[in-house]
Structure 1
Amino acid sequence: MTDLSAHPDPRQLLEAFEAFTAASEHLQARYEALQAQLGQLQGELQTVLEAVPFAIWVLGEEGSLRFTNRPQGLDGKFVAGPAPWEPGSPGGQRRFASAGGRELIFEEERRSAPHGGIIVTLRDVTEAVFQAQQATREDRLAAMGRMAAELAHEIRNPLGSLALFSGMLVEDLQDQPGPLELARKVQEGVGRLNRVVGNTLSFSRDLRPRAASIPLRAFWEEALRSATLAEAVPWDNRIPEAATWEGDPDLLRQVAQNLLQNATRALEDAEKPRLALTAFEEPLEDRRCWHLTLADNGCGIPADTLARVFDPFFSTFGGGTGLGLAVCHRIVVAHEGLLFIESQEGRGTTVHLRLAAGG
């Protein structure tokens, strides 16, 4: 006799199958929703990674590339050593020459990836480095300026007496050619000392620039002509017509004259001297700026000297007072601008000037 209770009820099987099918469809729909959500998150993550202001490379243990947010690469080359994604990269601060001729400073960091390999990040620290250099320079120059001003005031009074007495001596010795020549040399020496004292006081005084819009191309054309470079040195003015600075024309003219004078002296022994001016717009977070470069192919500045070129009374040229670049620095800082110099001995010098754009 057969036990009918051992056979499942077809209706129960059908209900179980329908429940299983519904659960499967629900799980499938949930899976597809999660897949879509994952795809959206991956897209958003990719967008974020592409938008971050630094480059990322994820390398496998054997050096293969797993991921990068800069698949198009970098437009330029590193000055020394292999690229960050290549074996033997030194890390730390790296100098990078862009295809447009600018030299940038990157900070390279390397760390281990969670599942093996290396994560390499590359961050542009050019602005931070130059701002830090200028802030340090400003602190040093401010201290030097205060000391120089005190010394100049102490020297000026006795120097005035020396100038008066040497002038009287020259008048009294008109009929004695030999002593007269010596007295004139004393007078000339006192005059040079007086000019140095005057320049020192000018360097240490407070600057209050008056605001005006300066068309850069015309401004530097005039500066180049007044420096009598047109005949002595071929120069190329590639500054766009739209470029302007907001600043004091008289003070900035001093900067231009000092920089052009230095460039002229650096080009004295060059076989084919040339001078090039370029400018490009450089937006910062709070304002628009124009970044100007003045490049020569002259003698250049030795690396151990470059750090001191802004120090008062330090000159790489004989016979100078050594105040030219120190004054330039103070004028640019008074305009809340940025001034820095790149140079290689025997290859030339490039001066960078960045000031706010004019209205």
Structure 2
Amino acid sequence: MTVIDPQRNLDLQGGVLAESLSLMEALSPIGSMHESSAPAELAGLHKTFELFGQMSQQLSQSYLMLEDRVKHLSSQLEKQTAERLKELAEKEQLAERLSSLLDLLPGGVVVINEDGLIEQCNPAARELLDAFSGELVGSRWVDVIRSCFRPRQDDGHEVSTVGGSRLSISTRSLENQPGQIVLLTDQTETRHLQEEVSRNERLSAMGKMVASLAHQIRTPLSAAMLFGGHLKNPGLEDTKRVAIAQRLMSRLSHLEQQVRDMLIFAKGDLKTAELIQVREFCLSLQDAITAHDWPETVDVELRNQCPEEAFYCNSEALVGAVLNLVENAAQATSHKISVQISLTQSRDKAWFICSVKDDGPGMNKKTLSKVMEPFFTTKSQGTGLGLAVVKAVVSAHGGEFTLASEEGDGTEAILKIPLVQLTSAEIEGVE
């Protein structure tokens, strides 16, 4: 935008005034013409009129320049005015568009000022907060929260409303001004869909579990029935009767282990209120290893290096978890395999550590990454629940379960369970 310079106009007016004074001074000798000669008077008068003509011409030129300047400034002013009007119209259109988008948003938008009062909200927010009896705009946001929300224990990342809806709430500070903007999203349908998916996943897992259980029970059950049929033979020799009875008990023990694993996986909860010493757990584990019918190719060694320490556990479940690990090692190869079970404690004496290490074929990285998933197995007769059950048992004890393996270099499973620091009197009470 061009601005007229006031100082320039004053200079122009001053020049015109000075030239006018010069003209008056030039005309002043006319009054005293009688004192001069006629030729001199005519020459002076002629010169005066020439000066007057020059001044008139200069005034005309200055006026024309001023007129052109005014036209130019008027044109620029009209142009800038048109641009400003166009910009204003575009801003109004943008404001209307943003207002329409705000009204059409599926989520609720609430703008809160620095005093905690609602300055603006869209129709979706009014619908989600319909439990509030008054007008939202101008009300305190704290009052709206008290009237519309009823938190529940299972809310998670959402908040329940009085009407039973689940809303997710996110806030953000306004830029360059005090206040906040609150975004409300209705997650009710999403939560229902998540619950439906979770229910379907549980049903699917249950179906796999039932199918696996039926498949796994059928084989040892058939063998047990076969051995039981042999025992009915009255002419069976005593030595053969004892051998068949041992095989029958082995199959029944296998059946019991399968059912126990399924129950642990299905229930998920395990009581670990029994306080025992590591020595006592070691004896129970040794008895279970001795009673188990291992193949001749399997050599199991048990070492206890922290007999006096104590921990809370479910002895039966924990012994079964360790036997699962030994059974996995035994089934990994048909060749001779050595399994070492070491019972130790961490350096800070805070953890009981049970290490089950074998010198079998090991696993590759791909198998190792999936081996703890339920129902994943590399065996034709496996349930895929062995390691999943071990992990569940250790987790129920508040511990950690890790597995390390390299193809061709064996596998090591480590169970870590927190120890309990006892006094001498308490140790005697445990014994």
TM-score in terms of structure 2 length: 0.36
Give the strand-richer structure, 1 or 2: 1
Query: Which structure's CA Rg is the greater one?
Result: 2
